[in-house]
Structure 1
Amino acid sequence: MPNDLIYFLILASIEGLGCRGAHRLLDFFQTPSAIFSASMGDLIQQGISEPVAQSLLSVRKRTQAEAELAKCQQNHIQILTFHDDAYPQILKQIYDPPVLLFVKGDLTCLNMPSIAIVGSRRATPYGINAAEKLARELAQRGLTICSGLARGIDSAAHRGALEVQGKTVAVLGSGLDYIYPRENRKMAQQIEQSGCVVSEFPMGTSPTPQNFPIRNRIISGLSLGVCLVEAAEFSGSLITARLALEQGREVLAVPGNITSKNSFGPNLWIKQGAKLVQNWQDIVEELPRPIKEQVLSSSKTSSDAPEPSLFSEVLTGAEKCVLELLRDDEASHVDHLLERSRLSSSELLSTLSELEMKDKIKQLPGKNFVRKV
C-alpha cells in the first residue's frame, strides 16, 4: 500500500494530467503500479502528452511524493485514494472525482448522508441566523453538514452543527496545513474532533482564488443536496449550486429580502426551480426516501421527549422589552438598545446576558445583537 500511495500522490501532482487524465490511466491500466511500469509509448497511446508522460516517470516526482507522504504522517493526515473502501462513494459518482483526498478527523463522516450549506462571505445577520438554525436542526437529526470553512455563511453552517455536537465536514481550497481564513483555525480544530477537514490539495498549497471553484465540486459532490443562503450576483457559492445541478444533486435556497444584493442568488435559483427553504423539513423532504424516513423517524422520537431547558423560559419585563426591540434580520448596537429600552447601562447589559443564556439572542462583533430564529 505505501507504494500505491506514492503512485497516487504522483498522479495527483502532475501538471497537465488532471483528474480525468489520471482516471483514464487508472481505468486502462487497472492499478497504479501498472501505470508506472508502462513504457513512454504506452502512456502516450492513452492520450497523454509526452511532457506529462516524462513527468510521470521522473525520479524527481517520486522523491517529492515520498516527502509529501512523510509530512502527512508527521501531521496525522490520512490520505484516501480513489481505490480505498473509505473513499466517499457519493463523490465517486461525479464527473471528475479527486484521485485522492487529504483528511484530518473522522473518515466515516464522508460516507454519511450530508447536506451542503453555502453562501456569501459578507453575510447579513439574517443569513447567519438562517444558516446556523438550519445546520443546527439538520445536525441534531443525524445529517452531516458540509461547507467550505469560509467567512460568513460557511462558518455559520459549521458553527450550527458544532453547537449540537453534530457532524460537519469542511472542504478547503488549500492544503490542510494552511487554514484559511486564519480566524477559523480554532473552528477547524473543533471540526476535526466531531467531523473532518478535507482537501485534494497537498500540504503547503496556499488558498489562491483559482482553487476555490475547484474545491466547490467536492462540497456539492459529497452532499445529497446544496442549500444556498445568501449569494450576490457573482458569488462563488453560485458555482457550487450550478455544480450540484450538473451532478444530479438537489438544489435548495433560502429566500431573501428583494432589496438586498445578497438575495440575488437564492431568489434567482428559486425562480428557476430550486426548492424554497423555510425550515429543516423543507430540506429533508427532498432527500432519498430511506434517508428521509430515517430522519423524520428520529425527529419524531426526539420531539416526544424534549430536553428540559437549563434556563426558565419565563421572561422578565426587561427581557421582553429588549427582545421586542431586536430583529432577526438586522443587528442592533448596544447604544441603540440603551436609548430605546430606557434601561440603565448595567440593567441592559445584565438583560442581554440573560437573553443570551436563554438562547434568545446572539451577540455579533462590535457590541451588536440580533434575535435568534
Structure 2
Amino acid sequence: MTQAHHDALLRLIEAGGSTAARRTLLETHRDPLAALEAGPRAWREAGCDETQARAITGTATPSAQRELARAWLAEPGHHLLGWHDPDYPALLRRVANPPLALFVAGDPGLLWHPAVAIVGSRSPSAGGRDNARDFARAIAATGLGVTSGLAAGIDTAAHEAALSVDGITVAVLGSGIDIAYPRANAGLYARIAGRGAVVSEYPPGTQSQRGFFPARNRIIAGLALGVLVVEAAERSGALITARLASEAGRDVFAVPGSIHNPMARGCHRLIRDGAGLVEAASEVTAAVAPLAAELGDALRQRLAAPSSGAGTAPGDAATSETTDDPDYNRLWQALGHDPTGMDRLVERTGLTTAELSSMLLLMELEGRVAVAHGRYARRRHDTANTAPSGAGRGK
C-alpha cells in the first residue's frame, strides 16, 4: 500500500465502533482511500453509525497515535494488512468478527503458512511445559508453523521450541504491536519478529487491557489449522481459544494429565466435550491435513492475484492454472535431493524468504517437495531438472 492508503486505513482503525461496518466499507470501495473519499452517505450505507461517521471525519487531522503508527510502519520489516488486502490471511477471514487490519512485525507471508496453535496455562507444571516443548518441536519439524500468544508459560515454551528447530512461529499479541507482553518476553518477541512474525490488531503504543486477550484469542484460533491445549485450568483463556477454534470449524486437541493436577482439568473438560485426546504430535499433524489442503487452494488463488492490495477486494483472485515462471524455475534448480535450509535457498536464488515460503508451501502441497526439520528437498519421484508443469510465482 502507498502512504496515502496506509493513512486512510489508520483513520478507519482510529474511528472505532462496529468492525463489520468498516469491513463492508472496504469491501464496497475496494481500498481505504476510496472508502474515505466516498463520503458520509456511503459510510452510513455501509452500516457506520453517526458516531463512527463523525469519528472518521474527525480523524482527518493526524493524531499522536497515527503519527506513532506512521513511524512504526516506516521501519524495515513492519507491515499493515487491511481487510481489503489480498494478503490478509485466508483462514482468518472465516472467524466471527475478523479484525479490520493486522499490524505485522516480521514476515506477513507466514500468516498464510499452515500452522497449529499451542496454548495453555501461564503457570504450567514442569511436565506441562515439557509437553508443550515436545509437541511444538515435533510439529515445527514437520514444516508446520506454531502459533501462540507470547504469554508466559505454555505459550513461551511453544514459541521457543519451534525456534530451536529453525521452525516457523507466529505470536499474536493482546497489546499494541510494539509492546511485548509480558515484558520479560521482549527478547523472545525480537527473535520471533526476526525469524517469524508477530501480529496484533492494535496500533503501536496501545497498552494491554484485560478485554484484549479474549479478542486476541480469536486471531490465534483463526490463523491456525487446529488448536492444541497442553495444560489449562477449568477457567482459562486457553479454553476460550479452543471454543473459538471449534466455532470456526477448526480441530481442537487436548493433552490429558493427572486427575490430581488442577492444570489438567480444562483439558479433561475439552476431551469430555469432544476435543481430540492426543498423545503424540503425529496425531495432530495427521488430523489437520485436510484443512491444510484447503489453505493450499486459497494460496493458489492468492498467487494468481495482483501483489498490491489497493483496488483489490477480498475473494477477487482468479482460480486458474498458473504458468511456468523464472523465479519458480530458479527455486526448483536450487532444490536438491539433499535437505536444504531456507538461508541457503535465499543465497542460491536471490529471492526473499517471503517469496520462497509461498512457493515452497505450494510445491509441498502439490507433493513436489518434502520438508523436515525446516529443510527442503525434492521428493524422490521428481527427478526431472525442469520445474513441474503449472508452477507459479510465490509473490
1:222 aligns with 2:223: yes
CA contact (8 A) 1:10 1:65 kept: no
Alignment-mate amino acid for residue 123 of structure 1: P
Partner of 2:183 in structure 1?
182
Alignment-mate amino acid for residue 141 of structure 1: T
Query: CA distance change for structure 1 residues 105 and 299 in 2, over 3 Å: closer, same or farther?
Result: closer
CA contact (8 A) 1:10 1:61 kept: no
1:281 aligns with 2:292: no
- State the alpha-carbon separation in 1 of the partners of residues 257 and 212 from structure 2: 28
What's the offset of the Cα at 1:49? 1.7
Partner of 2:325 in structure 1?
none
TM-score, normalisation: structure 2: 0.71
Q: Show the 5 A alignment for 1:57-68.
A: 57-60=57-60, 62-64=62-64, 66-68=66-68
- State the alpha-carbon separation in 2 of the partners of residues 63 and 127 from structure 1: 45
Partner of 1:56 in structure 2?
56
- State the alpha-carbon separation in 1 of the partners of residues 66 and 236 from structure 2: 38
What's the offset of the Cα at 1:79? 1.2
What's the offset of the Cα at 1:282? 0.8
What's the offset of the Cα at 1:3? 1.7
What's the offset of the Cα at 1:290? 8.3
- State the alpha-carbon separation in 2 of the partners of residues 57 and 226 from structure 1: 41
What's the offset of the Cα at 1:137? 0.7
CA contact (8 A) 1:139 1:166 kept: yes
Which moves more between the two structures, 55-64 or 83-92?
55-64
CA contact (8 A) 1:8 1:99 kept: no
Partner of 2:99 in structure 1?
98
What's the offset of the Cα at 1:65? 6.6
CA contact (8 A) 2:11 2:59 kept: no
Query: CA distance change for structure 1 residues 65 and 209 in 2, over 3 Å: closer, same or farther?
Result: closer
- State the alpha-carbon separation in 2 of the partners of residues 290 and 236 from structure 1: 24
CA contact (8 A) 1:5 1:81 kept: no
Structure 2, unmatched stretches of 5+, are: 294-363, 376-395
Partner of 1:30 in structure 2?
30
What's the offset of the Cα at 1:176? 2.2
Query: CA distance change for structure 1 residues 59 and 134 in 2, over 3 Å: closer, same or farther?
Result: closer
Find the residue that maps to 1:252 and give its secondary structure. strand
Query: CA distance change for structure 1 residues 291 and 218 in 2, over 3 Å: closer, same or farther?
Result: closer
Find the residue that maps to 1:34 and give its secondary structure. helix
Partner of 2:158 in structure 1?
157
Query: CA distance change for structure 1 residues 63 and 181 in 2, over 3 Å: closer, same or farther?
Result: closer
- State the alpha-carbon separation in 2 of the partners of residues 21 and 291 from structure 1: 30
Partner of 2:195 in structure 1?
194
What's the offset of the Cα at 1:108? 2.1
Query: CA distance change for structure 1 residues 232 and 99 in 2, over 3 Å: closer, same or farther?
Result: same
What's the offset of the Cα at 1:210? 0.7
Structure 1, unmatched stretches of 5+, are: 303-373
Find the residue that maps to 1:288 and give its secondary structure. helix
1:21 aligns with 2:53: no
CA contact (8 A) 1:6 1:69 kept: no
Partner of 1:305 in structure 2?
none
What's the offset of the Cα at 1:289? 3.8
Query: CA distance change for structure 1 residues 143 and 31 in 2, over 3 Å: closer, same or farther?
Result: same
- State the alpha-carbon separation in 2 of the partners of residues 289 and 29 from structure 1: 34
CA contact (8 A) 1:146 1:170 kept: yes
What's the offset of the Cα at 1:75? 4.0
Find the residue that maps to 1:86 and give its secondary structure. coil
Alignment-mate amino acid for residue 191 of structure 1: I
What's the offset of the Cα at 1:30? 3.4
Query: CA distance change for structure 1 residues 59 and 197 in 2, over 3 Å: closer, same or farther?
Result: closer
**Greater Rg over alpha carbons, structure:** 1
- State the alpha-carbon separation in 1 of the partners of residues 165 and 206 from structure 2: 32
The number of residues matched between the two structures is: 300
What's the offset of the Cα at 1:12? 1.6
Find the residue that maps to 2:221 and give its secondary structure. helix
Query: CA distance change for structure 1 residues 281 and 195 in 2, over 3 Å: closer, same or farther?
Result: same
CA contact (8 A) 1:122 1:152 kept: yes
Partner of 2:273 in structure 1?
272
Alignment-mate amino acid for residue 275 of structure 2: A
Alignment-mate amino acid for residue 159 of structure 2: H
Partner of 1:71 in structure 2?
71
Query: CA distance change for structure 1 residues 75 and 33 in 2, over 3 Å: closer, same or farther?
Result: closer
User: Equivalent pairs: percent with the same residue?
Assistant: 39
What's the offset of the Cα at 1:40? 2.6
What's the offset of the Cα at 1:45? 3.6
- State the alpha-carbon separation in 1 of the partners of residues 188 and 212 from structure 2: 21
